[in-house]
Amino acid sequence: MEMFSGTMRFLLILFFSCLFCHGKATDCGGKSVAQTIVVDQQGKAAFTTVQAAIDSVKSNNDQWVKIHIKPGLYIERVTIPYEKPCIILEGESSSTTTISYSDHPSINNNATFTSSSSNVVASGITFKNSYNLANTIYEPKDVGSEPIEPATAARIYGDKSFFYNCSFVGYQDTLFDAYGRHYYKDCYIEGEIDFIFGSAQSYYEVNYTNNCLMDVVGRDPNLPGFVTAQGRSSSDDAGGFVFEGGSIRGNGKVNLGRAWRAYSRVIFHQTYFDSIITPEGWVAWNASDNASTTTYAEIDCKGPGADSSKRVPWTKKLSYSEMNDFSFTSFINKDGWFDNLPTIS
């Protein structure tokens, strides 16, 4: 009896051909941009919405396509699907180019921006979910007029994603850093409850400590929030959040993180902590049965909130060699994917 039928052979050939095509597509043809598309709300370009510009990119795209977004407030939900890699979203600055929406059904469906493809770059854009925010310029509301709900500004699924000079604005579950290797450079992230969460393998870097990498929006002085809720699920899971430099400031008490899953991993290196950081710093949450499986560490951090004398006893003390495993090169760029991206200014 033959092991495979003719139909099965065809399906297997098709399957492996698709794998080859997707692998080739993720190379994106080198560092050059093959096409630039412009979005302008005033009708002075090919598209007036960001989503329409993305929709125009061919499936299984294998060359870098830049979508330049003119200044404006774009009230729309934007998605880069899995089959459209090699896309650059370029705003003119995060203070003038904003993509915003107001929705909250669930963390899997409510995001203002969703990126599912590999090889995606974004720069100079604010991604906002205004549902829990007061005084938005197009849907003003009293802070207490509606219950707080998870309302995600961005969810990032694709591998090899780079965000430069972007802002992520929300209150609860602002940035769903879901899966893949991601690099956030000189970005601003605002929220209070689990406002950076997910299972990704991500590196957040700001080279100057006076810049506010994370801004805590406190509402209840008696109820501290959480900067991170990282979801690493096993000891051999590559995921984790590494924060290099920057600062945590704001107007409400906040914990550095809580364990969404048992092997949660978050490391702060040379980060400035304002006095808003709680003395204990970390919460076991879903790792409460054995908090020692988590990896929570603070190395060479500064500021009034950096006093670690009252931290939970299961935080980690990393040696120099262990810390080297969490450098940019070692942690997310071993294969050099970042070096193959087009230059972003």
- CA–CA separation, 275 and 221 (whole Å): 13
- CA–CA separation, 143 and 122 (whole Å): 30
Give the pLDDT of residue 24: 40
**CB neighbourhood size of 68 (10 A):** 18
8-state DSSP, 277: B
CB 171 within 8 A of CB 149: no
Q: What is the dihedral of CA 47, 51, 54, 59, to 10 degrees?
A: -130
- CA–CA separation, 125 and 187 (whole Å): 10
8-state DSSP, 282: E
Strand partners, 176: 155, 197
CA distances from 113 to 41, 55, 110, 216, 273 (A): 18, 14, 9, 21, 29
Q: What is the mean pLDDT of residues 315-339?
A: 95
Residue 194 known to be catalytic: yes
Give the range among 57-66, 179-188, 217-226, 329-338 with minimum mean pLDDT.
217-226
The catalytically annotated residue of 159, 194, 215, 274 is 194
Rounded to 5°, the CA angle 117-71-158 comes to: 10
pLDDT above 70 (res 114)? yes
- CA–CA separation, 285 and 230 (whole Å): 11
Tokens of 212: 């506010």
| Percentage of the chain modeled with pLDDT above 70 | 86
- Tens of pLDDT, residues 189-231: 999 999 999 999 999 999 765 566 888 887 777 789 999 999 9
The residue type of 198 is G
Give the pLDDT of residue 138: 36
Q: What is the mean pLDDT of residues 280-302?
A: 97
Give the pLDDT of residue 3: 36
Domain 26-340 in CATH 2.160.20.10? The answer is: yes
Concatenated DSSP letters for 126-192? EEEE-TT-SS-SSS---TTSS------SEEE-SSSEEEES-EEE-SBS-EEE-SSEEEEES-EEEES
Q: pLDDT band at residue 177, thresholds of 50, 70 and 90? A: very high
Give CA 83 to chain center in angstroms: 20
pLDDT above 90 (res 153)? yes
- Tens of pLDDT, residues 233-264: 999 999 999 999 999 999 889 999 999 999 99
Q: pLDDT band at residue 178, thresholds of 50, 70 and 90? A: very high
User: Burial code of 24-48, b = ≥16 C-beta within 10 A, e = fewer?
Assistant: ebbebeeeebeeebebebeeeeebb
- Tens of pLDDT, residues 51-80: 999 999 999 999 999 999 999 999 999 999
Residue 220 known to be catalytic: no
Concatenated DSSP letters for 41-104? TTS-SSBSSHHHHHHTSPTT--SEEEEEE-SEEEES-EEE-TT--SEEEEES-TTTEEEEE---
Q: Based on DSSP, count helices (H) and strands (E) in the chain, helices before strands.
A: 4, 26
The catalytically annotated residue of 159, 173, 177, 215 is 173
> Mean of the per-residue pLDDT values for the chain?
88
pLDDT above 50 (res 143)? no
